[in-house]
Structure 1
């Protein structure tokens, strides 16, 4: 096994050797990876195959794999009327040396390139047709049914988490009880969707979440581009105007403004202003 890491040391697949992992996946799925297409992220590695598909390999610790498992991409394959890459198959195994599991999912290739990084600094100038496709997919997703619980940042989203996260930055005695839960992507940012043709990918963490989580998350990743953030709020107005949407806006602001905030993050000031505005609305309502 290539990765042997001391307990307590965070693994970053951008720097750790992964050749043995990729070799194992190639043998299991009977594919060959194109070396010049490998994309390495902190906890996942992806690459194009010789049969024109994409394989994403993820490393996840056992304590981050709950009762529902971690087969989000596989389970998302049954969702209807959503722009996403077709799922082809997977291979999963437990690491022989570390308390982690590995999972490789094979999907069809994306129809375009990612819009950008998780947090944008420039307006991607998306078309009206793109926004209509996004609304169609998000509305279709929210209308479906699942017993899965969304796990943004691999953490199950619960009422307790919502309340505690909001109160770390916006203390107050207003009610933070979520009224509506519905299926959400739970990692909806600009790195997980394509343009000019819309396709939503990286479905590892989808599941039931408070209404408006996806809209608020996308808005939060747009705050460095005010016109884009405003467009997200206009397009998803029905989410943001709901009580749960306001709670999710506060939830997103609290994550931006929390103890791990970078002092030079351009999103800090707009998130602070929005948090104050929404908190006042919830207090008044």
Structure 2
């Protein structure tokens, strides 16, 4: 049975019919998905089940799965000291209509609502307890061991990618070599965390990445709210003060300031100012 007719490159589950996919998952998990709870994103769909769990369904092209597979949520279940929803099980199948695979992961329900969209426009006013749990989880994550390699935006992060991204936007008279690689969530933004109780979810892309990637990514998602961006830097200052953290800040700034920059993006100016400061620091050695 073919569950998709769109090409992988142009696929957008926010606008396509997903009824057949939801039906398929219900049969596989022997549960009912509550249709009025469905959350649709470009390449994933989520819904609540009648047994009080959550199912996240993702479509990914075969060229984006790679040799390590795409069992991020499943493999993250073994991580210790991190606030995340407990993983229950999964079902994976290949789409008969093209070079595409589907994966549905069932987890326990989140302890709260997602804080917002990937990029926030207002301060969520998070309590100190939230920030403590947030930082504790990131510290615990960086201390783990894994052979997985992070795939932010489904692209495997490598030294070559870091260098190419930074060199494409900024000066080339400083070294872009990453010194330390540690486990990272690799999709850390305000849409993947809950409040008032902290919980970090959507672990599809986690793996080893340059130190500071997660902190820099969340900072970039906060730039439209200066006080929030400052709080992220304060809470994760050890990352931002490290050389690798500075490179990761340039890495995320390159995505904001690069060739696809939107002229009305409120993050442009603060990203530009920070990038200029960091480039000067790296040039000074």
TM-score range, shorter chain: over 0.9
5+ long unaligned stretches in structure 2: none
- Tell me the secondary structure at the aligned position of residue 33 of structure 2: coil
Helix, strand or coil for the counterpart of 2:277?
A: helix
CA shift for structure 1 position 154: 0.2
Instruction: Write out aligned runs for 1:27-66 (5 A).
Output: 27-66=27-66
Partner of 2:97: 97
The residue correspondences of 1:224-263 to structure 2 (distance < 5 A) are: 224-263=224-263
Q: Which range is displaced more, 78-87 or 168-177?
A: 168-177
Separation (CA, whole Å) in 2 of partners of 1:171 and 1:11: 36
Contact 2:8 2:100 (8 Å CA) reproduced: no
Asked if structure 2 preserves the Cα contact closer than 8 Å seen for 1:2 and 1:17, the reply is no
CA distance in 2, matches of 1:3, 1:183: 33
In 2, Cα distance between equivalents of 1:138 and 1:110: 18
Contact 1:187 1:205 in 2 (8 A): yes
2:168 counterpart SS class: helix
**What is the CA-CA distance between 1:168 and the residue it aligns to?**
1.1
Q: CA deviation at 1:214?
A: 0.2
Following TM superposition, where does structure 1 have runs of at least 4 consecutive aligned residues deviating by more than 2 angstroms? none
The question of whether the paired residues in 2 share the 8 Å contact of 1:45 and 1:56 is answered with yes
**8 Å Cα contact 1:142-1:184 kept in structure 2:** yes
Q: By how many angstroms is 1:9 displaced?
A: 5.3
The TM-score with structure 1 as length reference comes to: 0.98
Report the Cα distance in structure 2 between the residues aligned to 1:3 and 1:17, rounded to whole angstroms: 9
Counterpart of 1:245 in 2: which secondary structure? Answer: helix
CA apart distance, 1:112: 0.3
Give the unaligned 5+ runs of structure 1.
none
Aligned to 1:273: 273
Report how many aligned residue pairs link the two structures: 284
1:156 matched to which residue of 2?
156
| Matched ranges for 1:107-256 at <5 A | 107-256=107-256
Distance 1:185 1:9 in 2: 24
Q: Once superposed, what is the RMSD of the aligned Cα atoms?
A: 0.8
Q: Separation in 1 of the partners of 2:9 and 2:74?
A: 30
Q: Give how far 1:171 is off.
A: 2.3
SS at match of 1:34: strand
CA distance in structure 1 between the partners assigned to 2:134 and 2:3 by the alignment: 40
| Residue 35 (structure 1) shift | 1.0
Equivalent-residue separation in structure 2 for 1:86 and 1:157 (angstroms) = 26
- CA contact 2:39–2:46 (8 Å) conserved in 1: yes
Deviations 1:89-122 (A, max 9, x none): 0000011111000000000000000111100000
Match of 1:36, SS? strand
Could you tell me how far apart the structure 2 residues matched to 1:223 and 1:20 are? Answer: 39
**TM-score computed with the length of structure 2 as normaliser:** 0.98
**Is the CA contact (8 Å cut-off) linking 2:68 and 2:148 kept in structure 1?**
yes
Take 2:132 and 2:125, find their aligned partners in 1: how far apart are those partners?
Answer: 14
Is the contact made by 1:3 and 1:16 (CA closer than 8 Å) also made in structure 2? no
Moved more, 115-124 or 167-176: 167-176
